[in-house]
Structure 1
């Protein structure tokens, strides 16, 4: 892993071979602003986990009078209805993302999210209004989960594409942090009757930042190429790369993307919805990519982490963490661990260690920790917290279970949380990317919906520990699948994925890792300026980038 032919060494060589100008502040600012919509998904998950156990919320909507079974069902629907909306948001956004652009599509999705926030905050005890508002907000969130990762994959240099897309994943976890800790803040400083809606309304703050940001960043150059506007694509890519239009890397990247789009169109005419899907299933390489990502999203969503996040107060209570303050702090710290793990994964693992190895490591951590929690709950279910605390061995086992929950969060961030977003955004060609990404994210949300609805019942039917055995079993299946079928996409160009899927999925492991040739950026050799000559020009005559940006 660490030798001269390792993934880390080859990625470093690839980055050194590229002009330093492409890793510039404007690229990373653009990436951050478009990654911020990830906060929406995480904020909603973290916030609603606290809202549905808030006493004032339960009383205001008449839920405190329900039986335990009816209350559990109502909580499940309140949590899950947003994910149902997200399914439709993902499917609907494909109708505009290739017609009006990535940024305009993101603005439309953000407005739906805003409408959902306002509707929830001012539903005034109307349960039907709350359901409708959460559905509308989820519709908007679903749209952002399609557009943001797609945009990030299309603007990032290939050597750091994983890091750029992981900014979106990290923002999702940042949203969970906001969701938990904002609620903790209003719990301390707001009257009880205002707490839940004040925390919900706070989601407007990050939304306003990224909505304004969409008017600062450039459109995706690949979108312009898809619409046949090479000149505008060149101008936007110049801004993102801080290189002149005649630089070999700029021309090579544009020509490679344009050639792939032209080749796809020459083989398959038409761009209608059903024409695109017929092409996906009729083309062997596309069909294999579709099958790979379909299985990834199903396994990832049922590996248990979303259940723990969405029902974390309930699950934490199994380990003796009860009371409002203790529960708020524990779930808030859990969110911070997930966020920091996602940041570390994006900064150090996905582009250097690689997607495949990171995924295997993450799943292994999930499997071990889930198995420990299942054993602990199997032994202690039925015992009171006082009984557990009175026994030294039981108390240490309980503390170990709490630690396992936090370690599990790290494994989730390294593996199944991060990789489906990353792989979905990068393996599909430009012509079919928006359709396939929207479907995969709709599938992601549909599985999330099913998970949200099933978890309360699964915890009851499985006597708590059975649910964790189920999740551990999914992780075991995941390890086998990833070992055989998962390719390594780190460092490859978006247009260089085709040969990965020239073999059946069960043989992918034999050809999974890229060679030095695969990691080389697309470069026009007939360009009047090479990377080295541009750097010399930059040093001698002052930075050209300021002229270009102007």
Structure 2
């Protein structure tokens, strides 16, 4: 804190500065999402990944070597955020284009799960560094610069990966696409299955070209907002993205050491350890839900279950913080009933992580990919990802001030109100989606809660 002059700030000033430090990377991610799209289509997946990796590395270096300059820290975190945003868009596209149909969903899921696993590693690294170098410059500089290692491995790995066969077909390099696919499938060029897969890609690209033609962004925007049925679809994914971020899960994750401190965990080491366990819970529950639950009980039922559990945990944590706001930590620990309530509040935070994993974590992506017609699907998903990071920025930026202004408990009540609103919205507006996957083509039939079919989807 002394390196950046934060120890001289008032509580209000520190909350404001902390909010900017944490959230400004997500603001950069908004620009990264939109900025990578032209490069991705024109120069390919690997090249765009390399550019994004270089941008991210430059931002990390700026953070670690800014020499205590708070403005330099802000700028470098924004730059690294641009790289983060791009690397949330490109890998899922690349994975879906190189994977066999039978395991495409599983591999895409694996990437999402690895993002959560990265959070786990980050928290435990911070725990170890804090334990060994508390109160020194190394405490913040070492974890920051350690981010260069996975980034470098990521960047070097792009030179070992082939280009997307589908993109090669898209730019007219059919022979190279066939050779690349042969390498990926470990099959000879003459293999009938390989030839059939290439033919399927050709047909799909032709279908998309006929659907989109040479229309520009303005035409796609009109196609989204002028027809009533498409406007409803856009509003659905917009609200899903809004509720996903403002339900509070990502903000709680980012500020979990502080929150665990409010709930009775003392010491930086213990807070980081509790946060690491919290990250593990999110990773395991996300993976288990995606593999074994979502396709079994359905999107809408999963979402309503997750929101309800989020609501219950937020109400309990908010009630606990409000009820103990006038009590000292010593009084809480010396009162058996209150001490047990403190432990229950900590457990509730972990259940909140599980609730978000089976609700708002993945449902917006699933719904967005299912309800839009081919002509405007890519355009709307790009907008949705931009909103994702914009809402992420807003919520994480507001969290320290929200905790400070509402005496801690009010922040959880606020998130609980958002969850209650989203539960009502999902009940009346979220369709049940039935998807029939036929080769490369996806046909969607969405049925609302009243049984009416939303026609023209897919």
Q: TM-score, normalised by structure 1?
A: 0.74
What's the Cα RMSD here? Answer: 3.1
Q: Distance in 1 between matches of 2:305 and 2:283?
A: 18
Residue in structure 2 matched with residue 312 of structure 1 by the alignment: 256
* Residue 383 of structure 2 corresponds to residue 439 of structure 1: yes
* Residue 45 of structure 2 corresponds to residue 82 of structure 1: no
Q: Is the 8 A contact 1:162 1:351 kept in 2?
A: no
Task: Say which is worse superposed, 413-422 or 267-276, in terms of deviation.
Answer: 267-276
Q: Distance in 1 between matches of 2:343 and 2:188?
A: 58
Q: Which runs of 5+ in 1 are unaligned?
A: 1-57, 513-517, 519-550
Q: Is the 8 A contact 1:153 1:425 kept in 2?
A: no
Cα offset, 1:252, TM superposition: 5.5
Q: Is the 8 A contact 1:238 1:244 kept in 2?
A: yes
Classify 1:299/1:97 alpha carbon distance in 2 versus 1 (closer, same or farther; 3 Å). Answer: same
Give the 5 Å matches for 1:17-416: 58-190=1-133, 192-242=136-186, 250=194, 254-281=198-225, 287-351=231-295, 353-416=297-360
Task: Say which is worse superposed, 319-328 or 164-173, in terms of deviation.
Answer: 164-173
Residue in structure 2 matched with residue 499 of structure 1 by the alignment: 444
Classify 1:276/1:510 alpha carbon distance in 2 versus 1 (closer, same or farther; 3 Å). Answer: closer
Classify 1:405/1:440 alpha carbon distance in 2 versus 1 (closer, same or farther; 3 Å). Answer: same
Residue in structure 2 matched with residue 418 of structure 1 by the alignment: 362
Q: Is the 8 A contact 2:436 2:442 kept in 1?
A: no
Q: Distance in 2 between matches of 1:217 and 1:346?
A: 26
Classify 1:473/1:138 alpha carbon distance in 2 versus 1 (closer, same or farther; 3 Å). Answer: same
Once the two structures are superposed, residues 271-300 of structure 1 have per-residue CA deviations (whole angstroms, 9 ceiling, x without a partner) of: 544344344445677555433322211110
Task: Say which is worse superposed, 269-278 or 371-380, in terms of deviation.
Answer: 269-278
Q: Is the 8 A contact 1:222 1:430 kept in 2?
A: no
Classify 1:270/1:437 alpha carbon distance in 2 versus 1 (closer, same or farther; 3 Å). Answer: same
State the secondary structure of the residue aligned to 1:499.
Answer: strand
Q: Distance in 2 between matches of 1:184 and 1:310?
A: 14
Cα offset, 1:451, TM superposition: 0.2
Cα offset, 1:436, TM superposition: 3.2
Once the two structures are superposed, residues 49-99 of structure 1 have per-residue CA deviations (whole angstroms, 9 ceiling, x without a partner) of: xxxxxxxxx100011101111111011111111111111111111121111
Q: Distance in 1 between matches of 2:238 and 2:257?
A: 31
State the secondary structure of the residue aligned to 1:500.
Answer: strand
Task: Say which is worse superposed, 235-244 or 118-127, in terms of deviation.
Answer: 235-244
Q: Is the 8 A contact 2:432 2:449 kept in 1?
A: no
Classify 1:251/1:303 alpha carbon distance in 2 versus 1 (closer, same or farther; 3 Å). Answer: farther
Among candidates 474, 485, 509, match of residue 430 of structure 2: 485
Q: Is the 8 A contact 1:159 1:492 kept in 2?
A: no
Q: Distance in 2 between matches of 1:508 and 1:297?
A: 24
Cα offset, 1:490, TM superposition: 6.5
Q: Distance in 1 between matches of 2:98 and 2:374?
A: 12
Classify 1:381/1:239 alpha carbon distance in 2 versus 1 (closer, same or farther; 3 Å). Answer: farther
Once the two structures are superposed, residues 365-414 of structure 1 have per-residue CA deviations (whole angstroms, 9 ceiling, x without a partner) of: 22221222122223222221222222222111111110010111112122
Q: Is the 8 A contact 1:367 1:475 kept in 2?
A: yes
Q: Distance in 2 between matches of 1:158 and 1:490?
A: 15
Residue in structure 1 matched with residue 395 of structure 2 by the alignment: 451
Once the two structures are superposed, residues 434-479 of structure 1 have per-residue CA deviations (whole angstroms, 9 ceiling, x without a partner) of: 5433322211110011101222222233332222222223223333
Task: Say which is worse superposed, 285-294 or 382-391, in terms of deviation.
Answer: 285-294
Q: Is the 8 A contact 2:211 2:374 kept in 1?
A: no
Q: Is the 8 A contact 1:163 1:351 kept in 2?
A: no
Task: Say which is worse superposed, 286-295 or 244-253, in terms of deviation.
Answer: 244-253
Cα offset, 1:260, TM superposition: 4.3
Q: Distance in 2 between matches of 1:280 and 1:235?
A: 38
Cα offset, 1:127, TM superposition: 0.9
Matched positions, count: 454
Q: Which runs of 5+ in 2 are unaligned?
A: none
Cα offset, 1:187, TM superposition: 2.2
Classify 1:321/1:335 alpha carbon distance in 2 versus 1 (closer, same or farther; 3 Å). Answer: same
Q: Distance in 1 between matches of 2:25 and 2:411?
A: 23
Q: Which has the higher contact order (CA 8 A, sep 6+)?
A: 1
